[in-house]
Each structure stands twice: as structure tokens, then as C-alpha cells.
Amino acid sequence: MSTIEFLLFYFDAFLLICGVVLLIPCIVLLLESVAALIPFSEGKIRDEEQFKNTKIAVLVPAHNEELIIDSTLKDLKCKLPKEHELIVVADNCTDSTADIARQLGATVIERQDETNRGKGYALDYGLQYMEQQPPDVVIFIDADCFVQQGTLEKLTQLAVTTKRPVQATYLMSKPAQATPKDAVSAFAFKVKNQVRLLGLKRFGLACTLVGTGMAFPWSAIRSVNLANGDIVEDMKLGLDLNIAGYPPIYCPCAVVTGCLPQQTQAAKTQRTRWEHGHLQTLLTYVPRLIQASIKQGRIDLLGTALDLSVPPLSLLVALWFLLMSVSLLVAFMGVGYAAIFTGIIGWLLMLAVFTAWFNYGRKDLTLLQLLSIPAYILNKIPVYFRFIFKPVKTWVRTERDSVNT
């Protein structure tokens, strides 16, 4: 064996090891996508009086939300009985958010702290306000979201009966002038927030918290510290609760919707924060979950670690494409084991994405748009390079589009 053949053989072995690492999230994604196919029965409110008799507080964190807060609060007031409390935390606001919320009858508490900035601090401030007369259940709703009829009741019922945090289905609607990029982005959001959560539910595992449409028994939410400026405080909160013994549960039939930003810069800011936060959480919490699983003797935490190991869909496809390209180059030079193995991984990944699209994405994303995913990924590559050299570490608010009411 010549020196070049020797080097190629060992480099191909290295590529095989990389392939094994990449295989894990691809298999997890495929299993979740297939498990999501199992039908579920639409949840019904077994005891409507339970919703009325349970003390509920809906907490809305808001930072300069004057363009959207009016529509959100009107929507909530139509669906929340008067005996329950609607609280808005006007966090470091410099606009008329607080005034609008008061005019609509919400309880408004204002927070000014230029040092500790971020949604986590705002939520913690709201919880501190409730300490003297705490509710049985507190529900977090973002200031730019709308809840479907019956969602608050379903979240409350499940939180009370299971004594666990509950996550609603949180989906993104496309803007009026939607581009193919918007359609792909909305589909990726649906895979993350619906398809994969359904799969986790079928396996009996805790779900990820996704930022809004979340209900918590009071004892659960006060068992962890929310006062932080983490850019994906929702993921961190769900993982902390899971480790603390309160694994979140998914409620598919409770639905909360938002809208993808129409402004290019706003969309870029939002996606960068989500992607960087996801990767930071993955690197931080996977080892922590494995350690907690061993210490607590809980195999379900290993399942959560495996789910968290799945990176954003666009990054997963990009990593496969990079590995496939290098493996083909080595195969062309004479050693092709890694290329064969990586090709199999590609088929598994394609099957996972197609399964999710065929069952949950066909109405919103045409096959032609699905095939445009490579172009979408190319657009995301700078986001991932930025994570390596200049990651986003502080919370940045997404600029809102105006809403016609």
C-alpha cells in the first residue's frame, strides 16, 4: 500500500466516523416523522367548570409592541373569562404599549432595567408580581400571537390533570406577499413545532417548549429560575423543568399562531437568533441531560438528549451535503466506503423530510418549493458561519409588522 493509499484509507475512515455522528440526528428525525403519522384523537374538554374554577393568569411579555398588542389582547379577552387575569409586562418600553394594554383592560406592570434585558427577565418579573396571590395555572402568550378557540381551556385542563408544563402547537402563517423562502421557512417551523413534537408524544417523551402557548402549574414554574437573558429562553426553560422533574407535555389540539416577519432584516434577525440559540443550547444541554439521566436514573432524559441533538433542518441537510461532497471526492480517488455510507444517510434524511412534508406540509408547500430547499440552505450558510466566528449571545427583539384590525 502506497503512502497516498494509506492516507486515503484513514481519511475515509475519518469520514465514516463523521457519518456515524451525522446518522444519529437523521435517524432521530426519521423516527419522529414516522411516529407522527400515528393518529390521535382530538382532545375534548371533559369538565368545562374546571376551567372556570381554576385560577388562571395569562402573562404577555411585551417590549415596544404598540403595532400588534391591540390585536393580541382583543383576541385573548374574547377567549378568557372575566374571572381570570390578563397581565402584560411592559418591558423596557419606549412606546405606547403600556397605555394600549391598560385601555383594553389588562393588568399592566412596567419594568425598566437596561442591564438585565430579555424575555426571561420580563417573565420572571411578572411571576414575582403574582407571588402574593398566585394562580393555579399561568399561561405564557407572546405579544404577536393569536390563540385558537378552546386553546386556553385545553392547556389549563392538561396542566391541572397532569401537574406538568404543557406546550400548544405553535405555527407560523405566511405573510400576504409570501416568497418561496417564506413557504420553506414555515414548513421547517412546522416540522420543528408540530411533527417532531407529535413524534416525541408518541414515544412518551417530554416535548420542547417553543416560546409561546405554554401553560404551567404554579409549583412547576416556580421550581426553576427564569431570570436570564438567554436568546432561546423557552428551550432552556423546558430543559430545566424536565431535569427538575417536570417534563413538559405536548397538547396537539391547542393551537397558537404567529406570522413570519415581512421585513427582510426582521426575518434575518429572528432566524439568526433561533438558529444560534438552538446550537448553543444543543452544545450546552446534551452533556447536562446525559449527566442528569445517569444521576437520576431516568432514561427519558436520554431521549430528550437525542431529540436535542437534531440541529436545525437546514443545517442538517447542509452538513450531509458537505460530507457527501468530500466522500465522493475520496471515492473518486479510490476509496469509497464513506461515500456509500453517507449516501445511505442521505436517503434516510430525504425520507424523513418527505414523510413530514407529505403528511403535514403539502397544503402550504408545493413539491417545486420543496425542491428549492438547497437554495434556501445556501441562503442560511452565512448564519452558521456567523455562529462560529460571531455568535448571537444577547436577546434581540424582532421588529414587528403592522396589523390591520
Tens-place pLDDT, residues 28-45: 999 999 999 988 766 565
- Specify whether the CB–CB gap between 216 and 54 falls below 8 A: no
Per-residue pLDDT band for 396 (boundaries 50, 70, 90) equals low
Choose between 135 and 178: higher pLDDT.
Answer: 135
- C-alpha cell at position 147: 390563540
CATH code of the domain containing 200 = 3.90.550.10
> On the CB side of 219, how many CA atoms lie within 13 Å of its CA?
7
Q: Name 57's bridge partners.
A: 85, 138
Kindly report the number of other CB atoms within 10 A of residue 78's CB atom: 9
- What local confidence, expressed as pLDDT, does residue 192 receive? 93
Cα(121)–Cα(124) distance, integer angstroms: 5
Query: Which residue intervals of 191-263 are DSSP H helices?
Result: 196-202, 218-221, 233-243
Least Cα distance to 193 among 171, 165, 174, 216 occurs for 171
Domain that holds residue 269: 1-405
* Average pLDDT rounded to a whole number, residues 357-363: 91
For residue 54 the three cell numbers come to 381554576
Is the pLDDT at 27 greater than 70? The verdict is yes
> Are the CB atoms for 226 and 138 separated by under 8 Å?
no
Angle in degrees, 0-180, between the axes of helices 180-190 and 373-389, rounded to the nearest 10: 70
Residues constituting the chain:
405
Confidence of residue 6 (pLDDT cuts 50, 70, 90): confident
CA angle 78, 84, 88 (to 5 degrees): 80
| C-alpha cell at position 131 | 407571588
Neighbours of 112 (CB within 10 A): 9
The predicted model gives 357-369 an average pLDDT of 88
What are the grid coordinates assigned to 224, written together? 426553576
- pLDDT-derived band at 179 (thresholds 50, 70, 90) equals confident
- Counting the structural domains of the chain, the total is 1
28, 111, 7: which is closest to 345 by C-alpha? 28
